[in-house]
Amino acid sequence: MARHRGHAATEGPQPDRHGDRSRQLQNRCRRRQGHRRGAPVRGLQRASPLPGVQRAEPSAWRRNLAVCIFGSFTTVLGMTVLIPFLPFYVEELGVHGHAAIVEWSGLIFAASFLASGLAAPLWGRFADRYGRRLILIRAALGMAVCIALAGCVQTIWQLLGVRLLTGLLGGYGSGATILVATATPKERSGWALGMLSSGIMAGGLVGPLVGGVLPEAIGIRATFLAVGGVIFIAFVATVLWVEEPRRDATRTTVSRPWAQVPDRRLVGGLLTTGALVTLATFSIEPIVTVYIARLAGPGAHVTLLAGLAMSATAFGAAVAAPRVGRLTDRHGARPVLIASLLATSLTLVVQALVTSGWQLVGLRLLMGVAVAGILPAVTGAIRHAIPSHVAGSILALNTSALAAGQVLGPLLGGFVGAHLGLRVVFAATALVTLAGAAMIGRLPRLDRSAGGP
């Protein structure tokens, strides 16, 4: 009995090996789960490990992206809605004669883009100092007021002044690009910028359609007021729902942002590539209608085919941009840029060889798919290569470079088409995009972040 009690006493304090092993496995599982829970998850905030605590709402960058897409769509729509009826509005304001109407229409349409390109660096510095959200609020309110004022002018000079003011006070799309590029996780920036690019392209696509339908129903002046009201909704959404990451209070705006860029050769090459692509794309715009008229011959629906050809590029880019953005996130900017630039060059060469208007429409659609990922990839690569405290200033330089391409492209395209032939314009722009591909291939640090977070 004593022996049994002694044996029991000896065995009593012995650990339960099976229980210990089970507890060790449970603790190991808890540690693994805690590690997974603490790891960054794309698009989601960290889940609360405590029972009874509600999960955090989705990351603010997704909400920012949604509002920026809507705001960019409405503001670009407001910039392009006047394309179909601008000559009629110019004539209503007292300009007579075909040549004078054409000249004034071109000047008024280009005025806002020129002013926007010149003002972009200033607003970029302002964004670095006071915040990107404030820039969006300012741009949305300025655009809403200016677009509405365009429906109240009484002279052609007043309309020109309002368009210049629209460019100076606008720039929602460029401000949204800066906010999305700086506030989105870097591993999702390609997709996010692609989605934003789709919104901008869609605004440019829908704007002329609205401008062709709405004035027939409510009149030209009421159309401006209605579009201004829609942009005001974007202003309210920006005020209520756009959030900006907290800024480091110790950071101040530097006097020379370009000097803060670690690799100026890399960023300069990216800026040049963006300008070249925009120049190549916009150089075709002035000659599309004339080119289709020569291809289709008399009696064809030239205006319809020209509208389809110009819209096809925007449609293809809007559809393909998010998908190409994902490829950029997965494989890096260099292969996407080189492949896109080479594909764009190929489509341009083939456009010079078409024999019918419908062939041109199809190729313009393919060209939209080819160019879809170029500008978002350029913007994302620039963002990865620069410190955060100068991101607004440098990305604003990118906006100015794109605006330069938008202004110079039509001028060069019209000059080459008038003196060397329409087909030469396509071949020349193909060489321009090939030069961009060669430039990207010579940038050694493209896929490595040279800047700060």
- At residue 335, the pLDDT reads 92
Q: What is the mean pLDDT of residues 164-181?
A: 89
Q: What is the mean pLDDT of residues 207-222?
A: 88
Say yes or no: domain 57-245 is CATH 1.20.140.10: no
Tokens of 288: 């599309």
Of 297, 337, 322, the residue nearest 440 (C-alpha): 337
Do the domains 57-245 and 257-453 sit in the same CATH topology, yes or no?
A: yes
User: Mapping DSSP to helix (H, G, I), strand (E, B) and coil, where does residue 44 land?
Assistant: strand
Q: Which residue has the tokens 């009696």?
A: 299
- At residue 50, the pLDDT reads 31
Least confident span in 132-136, 143-147, 157-161, 343-347: 132-136
Q: Which residue has the tokens 């040279």?
A: 450
- At residue 446, the pLDDT reads 66
- Tens digit of pLDDT for each residue in 60-75? 889 999 999 999 999 9
CB under 8 A, 24+ apart: contacts of 242-248: 242/63, 242/64, 242/67, 242/68, 242/133, 242/136, 242/137, 242/179, 243/60, 243/63, 243/64, 243/133, 244/131, 244/132, 244/133, 244/179, 244/183, 245/182, 245/183, 247/131, 248/389
- At residue 11, the pLDDT reads 43
Contact by Cβ (8 Å): 317, 364? no
User: Mapping DSSP to helix (H, G, I), strand (E, B) and coil, where does residue 41 land?
Assistant: strand
- At residue 258, the pLDDT reads 83
CA distance 227 to 147: 7
- Max mean pLDDT among 225-234, 320-329, 408-417 falls in 225-234
Residue type, 356: S
Of 127, 112, 118, the residue nearest 400 (C-alpha): 118
The end-to-end CA distance of the chain, in Å, is: 75
- At residue 299, the pLDDT reads 63
Q: What is the mean pLDDT of residues 272-292?
A: 85
Contact by Cβ (8 Å): 399, 174? yes
Tokens of 438: 């060669």
Give pTM, 2 decimals: 0.70
Contact by Cβ (8 Å): 75, 203? yes
Higher pLDDT, 302 or 358: 358
| Residue 10 CA: distances (Å) to CA of 3, 15, 20, 21 | 10, 11, 19, 21
pLDDT for residue 453 is more than 50? no
Give bridge partners of residue 44 from the DSSP assignment.
41
Domain ranges of the chain: 57-245, 257-453
- At residue 300, the pLDDT reads 65
CATH fold for the domain made of 257-453: Growth Hormone; Chain: A; (1.20.1250)
pLDDT for residue 121 is more than 50? yes
Residue type, 36: R
pLDDT for residue 36 is more than 90? no
Tokens of 79: 């910039």
- Tens digit of pLDDT for each residue in 7-26? 444 444 454 554 555 555 55
Tokens of 317: 């880019």
Of 258, 244, 274, the residue nearest 386 (C-alpha): 258
pLDDT interval class at 216 (50, 70, 90) = confident
